[in-house]
Structure 1
């Protein structure tokens, strides 16, 4: 099911007109298909080949046109996802990226973002995991996403600390 935060961004008051969208960590394609059905030109990336194959099958069955790529969201230059993009969507991809690859992730999005582009990101707080590398904070996003403004931080409804982050490209 598509998260209400994405639905609100795409369909709510002040929603941007459909443009080009890049989903990072698309899994089996539910949100990419949602965006495509609402007029967005969608590219979706996931590291897991099996998930991408399943997403292709789901998109075909739904009659949705989505360009699905198997690859690393921190190495967008190696993929056929040149941009520019108006919208980026990340449902807990970034928070699982090892810290030494997070600057590459941010740089890849920044190079592909039109002025005013939006990034809607769901992330787990660092306290959600027992390992020292998972999770994300507002402070980290401000530091890593140069040229972006952290416009909104909304706590998630999960039992562990989660957040919805909305960033805008300057």
Structure 2
């Protein structure tokens, strides 16, 4: 598994490049998500939020946004952005119960789940399921299985479904990678959208 705390200390955060380069496609996915909902949108949890790249946008869109990450330095950096309507907390997405969170309508996981082993993926799935309101949705970006999996992660569709047995897989779509270079162009990244079964 990637040592994210170490990467933040070394200022190596290539995943943040994707958020900037793919901002338009991510916005389109969030637009589609919100088009199915009425106002107010509800509560959204950004899983593995890092330095808060996506959490503020959720708040600007009208979500009651919460970001969680296990790296204290990343959460401190996210808090320093001082965005209204966003809450950040240090916590482990594989142990969401210990975070003392209330239920959510929407979950966003951009590149977090893909770095976990089987037990950790199952733990995230259980935690998200326990916090999900009826018909809650999950939008996840994950690398596909690849030769570099032991270093950069990656999961198959079957592994996503295995970790979220109480969820219906609504869509699987290839993520936009043009202009991003390695490793994005070698990992077959996919966007998964799931809905909590009632």
TM-score, normalised with respect to structure 1: 0.89
How many corresponding residue pairs?
Answer: 166
Number of the residue aligned with 1:162: 189
2:73 is aligned with 1:50: yes
Number of the residue aligned with 1:107: 126
Number of the residue aligned with 2:27: 7
Distance 2:69 2:147 in 1: 23
Distance 2:141 2:121 in 1: 15
2:146 is aligned with 1:127: yes
Matches within 5 A, 1:1-170: 1=20, 3-12=23-32, 14-17=35-38, 18-58=41-81, 60=82, 63-81=83-101, 83-127=102-146, 129-131=148-150, 134-156=153-175, 157=177, 158-160=184-186, 161-170=188-197
The structure in which a higher percent of residues are strand is 1
Structure 1 stretches (4+) deviating beyond 3 angstroms?
1-6
Contact 1:102-1:144 at 8 Å conserved across structures: yes
- Indicate how the Cα distance of structure 1 residues 23 and 36 shifts in structure 2: closer, same or farther if over 3 A, else same: same
1:55-92: CA deviation from partner (whole Å, max 9, x where unpaired): 0011x1xx4221101111000111132x3111000010
| Secondary structure of the corresponding residue to residue 46 of structure 2 | strand
Distance 1:49 1:87 in 2: 24
Distance 2:104 2:25 in 1: 19
Shift of 1:151: 0.7
Moved more, 129-138 or 97-106: 129-138
Shift of 1:30: 2.0
